[in-house]
Chain A
């Protein structure tokens, strides 16, 4: 499973990084996003809504956020 390490970066970098990474996986595959910017709680669901990718999980612990996003199809342009 592809992992995008966005630890230590701030909005909008985590979203840009997963937007790039999702283009490299097949439809139905999952991408893990690691981040510690709290805005990910807002940005990631919004990005998934805009692009059609599916937010499978978004957990937070002392080490930050771990999200799983399922690729809906190939690249879908971010609006």
Chain B
């Protein structure tokens, strides 16, 4: 149990605690307000009002018209809905997709699934800090391109893209192409305005804003062609069939409302603590920061430690009471993270990455505890390494 662990939980991207205020807002909808918002009787009234209120709250956080908000079961579903739904609905215009090499695995998997069938996929590379070049992105767009999908914040190395610049470059090449922005990592911690971005669709999730991580949403601009991924009902205007997860949706809405108010405070707190952690981690010999030194997703810190295997380091830290994630996508199979390869890292750096993700509740004490444990763990693992402690 995390609450019984005196150590440092710095794996908030994997799972995080629910803001108590969000939990309080959700509570009635697992109890007395259990009705379906789709029903015609009195039990539907409160859920129906809460559903539209949550839609307004989510829209307000991202500068979007609430009518375009489609609730989903988390941001992974929203990414799938965006990619598969937009491509399917625009099949008469073409079947070419443009994306980047640092997208969330859900986005890449959805794109590859379509490419396996009949779509064509162009993946644009990034620079050493994970930034997409707007000129390269626009150059990849063709006359038959129906979807450009890019991430706002990178989930592993924390790079925050200049979305407005990227969208403008794409629009200059093909004004009517549909552009989806994945803000699943940044919603609630980095200001988002989809109207200013001039995109057509955006993904958000509850986890990054202290809401239920199993709740998410896809916003689509009016007039954007989209097919549903989950069919079978009138819910969400027919774009997402299935019963509404009312506790999750209400929680997402309340989390969005709170995030809109507290975003500056949260961002400043997590950025300061992340900088403190980075400073301490880089003080250890032969450790490098992955991703940019500035302009990161607040609270995202990924480093690679030379002569140490990432998963072993995570397990060693876990034994010391520190929760983090390995930076490698599938270290058991000896595979490097595609994101780390995309920024030009090579072994052993690709296999020695570790990701710390902070939350607004993270404390300096936890950061210092984790940093000390990291230094101890790296030293002990290097002492056991056949490469030696100073190889």
Contacts and interface: CB of A to CB of B under 8 A. Distances in A.
B292 interface: no
Given A17-B234, A17-B238, A63-B92, A3 B226 contact: no
B63 interface: no
Contact of A3 (B85, B223, B227): B223
Interface string A1-38: 00111111110011011001000000000000010100
B286 interface: no
A3 B222 contact: yes
Interface of A is mostly: mixed
Contacts of B222: 3
Name the interface size band of chain B.
Answer: 10 to 19
Nearest to A19: B234
Interface residues of A, number: 19
Nearest to A6: B238
Contacts of B237: 4-5, 17
A62 interface: yes
B338 to A, nearest CB: 30
Contacts of B225: 5, 7, 34, 63
A9 B223 contact: no
Contacts of A13: 233-234, 238
Interface string B229-247: 0010110011100000000
A62 B93 CA distance: 9
A9 B228 contact: yes
B89 interface: yes
Closest 8 CB pairs of A and B: A8-B227, A62-B92, A9-B238, A13-B238, A63-B92, A7-B89, A8-B228, A16-B234
